Amino acid sequence: MIAFEALSAAETLSWALDTFARSFAIATSFQKEGMVVLDLATRISPSVRVFTLDTGRLPDETYRMIDTVYSRYGTRVEVVSPDPAEVSAMVSAHGRDLFYDSADSRQMCCDVRKVRPLARKLHELDAWATGLRREQSETRAALPRVERVDGRIKINPLVDWTTGEVDRYIREHDVPVHPLYARGYASIGCAPCTRPVTPGDDPRSGRWWWEQDTHKECGIHFDLNNRPIRIART
């Protein structure tokens, strides 16, 4: 049995690429961690698959990162979009900006625009990698490096990295950085749901800042009750 916790990020990705080949992909929203995972993986296999969730409400700068990744790595990012009929039904019933109404409404929007599209994408894969780190929030503090989620292998190569280690890798390897970091963003999601933070603030405080006493998670990894998400086979 492999002692995954003893592996480095590069060793973990090498194992995933060797084991799953084209049934493995990296999920990224082009934040710093996701870009580090992408950079590490392309050094092992330039043809590694990469996908992103296009919610339809992303900042223009995020869309430009798709071109940046292709220019730098030659990687064509697989863009995953929500079901147009599901989005239309939600907006018709609750309004385009329903997420401001309540945490439940926000979770509904995230479910339609992110969680369900991810679930459909994962049916193509046996394993996938994220940029999650234990240091990011208390909901993520106990994350394993490798876990089984509803029959698939979820890999968190940077799980034990610090913010300083992420930033150092980016500097040393000249990894492309999302432009919004230069404008004070510390965690980047949909345009209406993300804002800059001041130095010293919790990086996740810029996400859904109008919510109080809720876990700052979209539902891809954890729900509002801090329970790990299990991707349904539908």
User: Which has more confidence, 206 or 212?
Assistant: 206
The pLDDT tens digits for 59-74 are 999 999 999 999 999 9
Task: Measure the CA–CA gap between 92 and 100, rounded to whole angstroms.
Answer: 16
Give residue 27's pLDDT: 97
The pLDDT tens digits for 150-187 are 889 999 999 999 999 999 999 999 999 999 999 999 98
Per residue in 144-160, is it b (16+ CB within 10 Å) or e — as a string?
ebbeeeeebbbbbbbbe
Half-sphere exposure of residue 171: CA atoms within 13 angstroms, side-chain side: 6
**Which strands form 49-53's sheet, in the order they lie side by side?**
78-80, 49-53, 24-27, 127-129, 152-155, 146-149
Q: Which residues are catalytic?
A: 218
In this structure, what token pair is assigned to residue 111? Answer: 């479910």
Q: In the chain, pLDDT over 70 holds for what percent of residues? A: 89
The pLDDT tens digits for 96-141 are 999 999 989 999 999 999 999 999 999 999 999 999 998 876 766 7
Enter the pTM of the model: 0.88
Domains in the chain, CATH or no CATH each: 4-206 (3.40.50.620)
